[in-house]
């Protein structure tokens, strides 16, 4: 209501002002004289104002007309018109439809359909980086390796898809067993994407397989940096690689460098048995027996192992059996109940010809863990105590079929290795060998020559040659009283 009143009042005021202005202008004297082409126009002040307003309107209209003309010109040239945009959108829609159908086909395992859809999508979309991916996957699925490889090679040409191409070809080479080329491709893939975990693993495995230890250590470092490896695992694996490096350097005859590398590996992982042994051997060669004892004792406390004991013996090769027995007490002080300690002490007692002492040292191992080594030790004790030959033979016979006790076993494929190595000789896994007892169903191996290294040295034992043991098996079979059970009862008295 008030608003309408204001509007009416404003209208009346405007009319009044205009009328007033008009009459004022009419009353003004003079005017403007315009001289156009010899003709003279005389304008009064009022006509001048109307003329100005008309001029403004004409200029505005002219600009509008010009814009319309430009639009018409563009339309006639066919530039970005609604019609062409419509067709483009239609193509794109068809392309993406084919692409999504192709992906569905891939997910549902229809490789051939996926391939057809991929080529249709390619026709409409003209985006090779999208459709090539689909084609490569579909070709892999249908087992069309040639097509897959071709597509991977096309992916190599584009910066954005190069990694996928390299990885695809690398996997093909890996499955072909062409590890040389696979290694080169893995290096390339690693250079493009250093944080890609799968690439790191493949590269590390191949480098370890090819004994490129320093390269493998770099890859391991990258794994740690990108957070794909816990720090303690990195330390342990770095130690394994450092040790492998040390072994290679030693093979080249560079003993000093090898010693340093072994000491470094031992420092990284004091419980890595072969590293401790190699470091200790270096110390022994330098005459640093104290350091050698220290690293060996540390490793023994983490995991008692016969090789550690053998190296510990090398510290003083010429000592008497009694001296050795005394010195080894320091090594086994912290692990008195470990089977390895018991067997070691029994071996040393046998060497010192204290056979009852050896039996005491073995304790209840013959019942709790009757391994081939324990049974052979019992046989040696029986012989030392002057038991009947048939009794000794009985124990040795039993030893033949007894479990062998802990060995280097691959955690991945359960393959048993006679010696420790950085990679599994069977499945190629890295750092999977651990010293443990194989599963129950493991076939017992005949008693080898390495049974009693501390008693008879590292050569074949003169007491129990393998062939004699073999011959004894036949004898023992029809030798009833020689059964170990009977022998046990006899000796217990
Ligand atoms: Zn393995």
pLDDT tens per residue, range 112-137: 899 898 888 888 888 887 888 888 88
- Of the given ranges (134-143, 299-308, 463-472), which has the lowest mean pLDDT? 463-472
Q: What is the residue whose two structure tokens read 């129990």?
A: 464
Residue 434 CA to ligand 1 centre (angstroms): 11
436 CA distance to ligand 1 middle (Å): 14
Average pLDDT, integer, range 420-439: 88
412 C-alpha to ligand 1 centroid (Å): 5
- Inform me whether the pLDDT recorded for 460 exceeds 70: no
Cα 215 to middle of ligand 1, angstroms? 22
Q: Answer for the pair 391, 490: CB distance below 8 angstroms, yes or no.
A: yes
In this structure, of 42-46, 258-262, 476-480, the range with the lowest mean pLDDT score is 476-480
Tell me the CA–centroid distance for residue 400 and ligand 1, in Å: 26
pLDDT at residue 311 in the model: 95
- What is the average pLDDT value for the chain, to the nearest integer? 84
7-11 average pLDDT score: 91
Ligand 1 midpoint to CA 296 (Å): 27
Residues 6+ apart with CB under 8 A from 147: 115, 135, 139
Least confident range from 18-22, 408-412, 417-421: namely 18-22
Confidence of residue 440 (pLDDT cuts 50, 70, 90): low
- Per residue in 178-212, pLDDT (tens digit) is 999 999 999 999 999 999 999 999 999 899 888 89
Q: 415 C-alpha vs ligand 1 centroid, how far in Å?
A: 6
Q: How far is the CA of 414 from the centre of ligand 1 (A)?
A: 6
Binning pLDDT at 50, 70 and 90, where does residue 489 land?
Answer: very low
Q: What is the pLDDT of residue 371?
A: 92
Mean pLDDT for 360-364 is: 92
Residue 200: what pLDDT? 92
pLDDT above 80: residue 346: yes
> pLDDT for 232-288, tens place per residue?
999 999 999 999 989 888 888 888 888 888 999 999 999 899 999 999 999 999 999
Is the pLDDT at 68 greater than 90? The verdict is: no
pTM: 0.62
Q: Is the pLDDT of residue 144 over 60?
A: yes
CA 358–ligand 1 middle distance (angstroms): 37
* pLDDT of 486 higher than 60: no
Predicted local distance difference test score (pLDDT) of residue 42: 77
Q: What is the mean pLDDT of residues 303-313?
A: 94
Is the CB of residue 165 less than 8 Å from the CB of residue 180? no
* Residues ≥6 apart with Cβ < 8 Å to 391: 382, 482, 487, 490, 491
Query: In angstroms, what is the span from residue 408 Cα to ligand 1's centroid?
Result: 11
Pairing, β 32-36 against β 407-410: unpaired
Q: What pLDDT sits at residue 4?
A: 86
The residue among 332 and 468 whose pLDDT is bigger is 332
Gap from CA of 178 to ligand 1 centroid (Å):
19
**Residues, Cβ < 5 Å to ion ligand 1:** 410, 412-413, 415, 424, 426-427, 429
Nearest of 351, 349, 312, 352 to residue 332 by alpha carbon: 312
In the chain, what percentage of residues exceed pLDDT 70?
87
Long-range contacts of 290-295 (CB under 8 A, 24+ apart): 293/330, 293/331, 295/266, 295/270
Q: What pLDDT is recorded for position 122? A: 87
Give the mean pLDDT of 323-346: 93
pLDDT of residue 458: 39
In the predicted structure, residue 469 carries a pLDDT above the cut 70: no
Ligand 1 centroid vs 435 CA: distance in angstroms? 13
- pLDDT: is 384 or 489 the higher one? 384
Please give the distance, rounded to the nearest whole angstrom, from the Cα atom of residue 443 to the centre of ligand 1: 18
The alpha carbon of 337 and the centre of ligand 1 are apart by a number of angstroms equal to 31
Q: In angstroms, what is the span from residue 293 Cα to ligand 1's centroid?
A: 32
Q: How far is the CA of 409 from the centre of ligand 1 (A)?
A: 8
* pLDDT tens-place string over residues 445-454: 544 444 544 4
Q: Answer whether 117's CB lies under 8 Å from 130's CB.
A: no
pLDDT more than 90, % of the chain: 49
| CA separation for the pair 212, 121 (Å, rounded) | 44
Which range is most confident: 2-16, 335-349, 438-452, 462-476?
335-349
């Amino acid at each position: 209501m008030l608003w309408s009143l204001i509007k009416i009042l404003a209208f009346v005021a405007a009319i009044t002002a205009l009328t007033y202005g008009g009459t004022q202008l009419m009353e003004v004297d003079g005017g403007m004289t315009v001289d156009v082409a010899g003709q003279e126009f005389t304008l009064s002040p009022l006509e001048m104002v109307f003329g100005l307003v008309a001029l403004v309107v004409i200029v505005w209209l002219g600009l509008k007309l010009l814009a319309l003309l430009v639009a018409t010109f563009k339309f006639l040239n066919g530039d970005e018109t609604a019609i062409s945009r419509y067709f483009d959108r239609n193509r794109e829609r068809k392309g993406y439809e084919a692409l999504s159908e192709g992906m569905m086909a891939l997910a549902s395992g229809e490789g051939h359909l996926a391939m057809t859809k991929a080529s249709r999508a390619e026709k409409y979309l003209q985006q090779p980086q999208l459709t090539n991916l689909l084609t490569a996957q579909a070709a892999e699925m249908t087992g069309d390796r040639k097509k897959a490889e071709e597509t991977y090679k096309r992916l190599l040409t584009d910066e954005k898809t190069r990694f996928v191409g390299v990885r695809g070809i690398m996997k093909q080479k890996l499955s072909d067993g062409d590890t040389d080329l696979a290694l080169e491709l893995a290096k390339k893939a690693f250079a493009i994407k250093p944080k890609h975990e799968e690439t790191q693993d493949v590269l590390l495995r191949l480098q370890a397989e090819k004994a490129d230890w320093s390269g493998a250590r770099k890859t391991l470092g990258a794994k740690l940096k990108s957070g794909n490896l816990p720090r303690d695992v990195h330390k342990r694996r770095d130690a394994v690689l450092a040790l492998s490096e040390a072994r290679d350097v030693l093979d080249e005859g560079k003993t000093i460098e090898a010693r340093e590398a072994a000491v470094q590996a031992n420092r990284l992982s004091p419980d890595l048995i072969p590293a401790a042994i190699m470091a200790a051997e270096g110390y022994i060669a330098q005459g640093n027996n104290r350091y050698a004892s220290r690293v060996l004792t540390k490793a023994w406390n983490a995991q008692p192992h016969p090789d550690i004991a053998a190296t510990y013996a090398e510290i003083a090769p010429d000592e008497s059996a009694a001296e050795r027995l005394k010195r080894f007490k320091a090594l086994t002080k912290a692990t008195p109940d470990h089977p390895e300690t018991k067997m070691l002490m029994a071996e040393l007692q046998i060497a010192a010809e204290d056979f009852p002492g050896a039996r005491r040292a073995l304790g209840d191992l013959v019942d709790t863990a009757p391994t081939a080594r324990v049974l052979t030790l019992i046989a040696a004790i029986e012989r030392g105590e002057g038991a009947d030959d048939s009794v000794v033979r009985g124990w040795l016979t039993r030893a033949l079929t007894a479990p062998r006790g802990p060995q280097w076993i691959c955690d991945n494929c359960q393959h048993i290795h006679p010696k420790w190595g950085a990679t599994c000789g069977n499945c190629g896994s890295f750092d999977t060998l651990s010293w443990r007892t194989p599963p129950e169903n493991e076939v017992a191996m005949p008693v080898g020559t390495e049974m009693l290294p501390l008693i008879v040295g590292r050569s074949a034992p003169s007491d129990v040659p393998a062939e004699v043991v073999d011959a004894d098996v036949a004898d023992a079979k029809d030798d009833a009283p020689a059964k170990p059970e009977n022998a046990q009862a006899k000796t217990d008295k």
